[in-house]
Structure 1
Amino acid sequence: MFNGHDLSGWSSSDMSYWSVSDSAIVGGEGKDSIVNNQFLWHEEKVKDFYLKVLVKMVPNTTNAGIQFRSQKMGEEALGYQADIGEGVWGRLYHESGREKLHWEGKGEAAVKKNEWNSYEILAVGNNIWTAINGTLSVAYQEPNGELDGFIALQVHAGPSQLVKYKSIKLIHNPEIEIGEYSESELMEALVKSNGSPYLGGNQ
């Protein structure tokens, strides 16, 4: 998805918020404040996928995110967001729509503040998982959720901040696994959108 040199294949309504430095995509550099949420969109559509990216947020108290299965809505985004920042790392949000979806934040304790963190997102059918530095954070099933769309990187509206994304790896139609977690472990961890545990059957 990212060649490490330039933003080929990526676009934004305001490219002044985005640059490449030291083989990383950088959002918000040199800005005294962030006017409106800013999104950098990749041209490739995704359906079932696995995404792994290294993320660094400075300061950790600010906010960013990774959109997926999302659509452009003017200058905003509509769709799933894997959240980034203190108090929201690893959580699942629905930007411009259903808002907080899976909000337990089990991966927060694994975050290395102001350092590089491994962020994994796995979406297969109606099931979504995220992990921070190998620690499972989200395991969520939403029967009526979006099944395809685009990936975008966000820098959130607000005070001056710097977010970096690098070593981006995308796999289409992946196996159901994240790090040391097997398919059976990931399926067992699922929580349905109504809050009840996954008990097997149709995904």
Structure 2
Amino acid sequence: MSELTPQQEHAIATFKACMHFPDNGFHDLIIELCKTYQLSFQKVRKALVSSQVKLEKKIRHHFDNVTPEELTKQAWLESVHTQLKELAKENIPVMSGLQGNAHYQKALASIQASIQSENEREATLEDLFLAYEKQVFKPLATMLHTTPLYWKLMRAEEIQIMTPEYQKHFIDYPDYMEATNHLFELEQQVRDQVFN
């Protein structure tokens, strides 16, 4: 590892001082960015850390090109937002993902063909559950990682628990709740169906 000049050490110390987030601030920032960009906790955390490492490397190896503005929290956050915007371009809208899900399509076809037996009902409910798990539950869990809301989600592994009332806990994730509510209504329709 190369020796740092006093100016480089001062620049790194200044940057780290600007990066101080009191209390649970760093974690809260990650959660807020997860909401904003609809990305997993790990992807957001990785972007934050890589942005920090990138600037520290620049200080170590290209110090003459570092400006005082780059050492600010604002500049660092702009760098983070730029990375996250790029990552978010790969996001597929939740309802589009749901509509493209094979289990959802199979369940919808069964519902439209009119379920005729208890076995068909169970198979359709299973397909709805698998669609919910893949398109809503797991992606939402990756965003809520380490939050109190995560534990509320863990209690709603089954669609039927995600009542409209329970969905209110997740109001900050409207696209996921739109898909959840749609699946909840379909599940109710399947459960309520009476056979001749």
Note whether the superposition's TM-score is higher than 0.5: no
For CA contacts below 8 A with separation 6 or more, give which structure has more relative contact order.
1
Please report the TM-score for the alignment, with normalisation by the length of structure 2.
0.23
Please report the TM-score for the alignment, with normalisation by the length of structure 1.
0.23
- Whichever structure has more strand as a proportion of its residues is 1
- Whichever structure has more helix as a proportion of its residues is 2
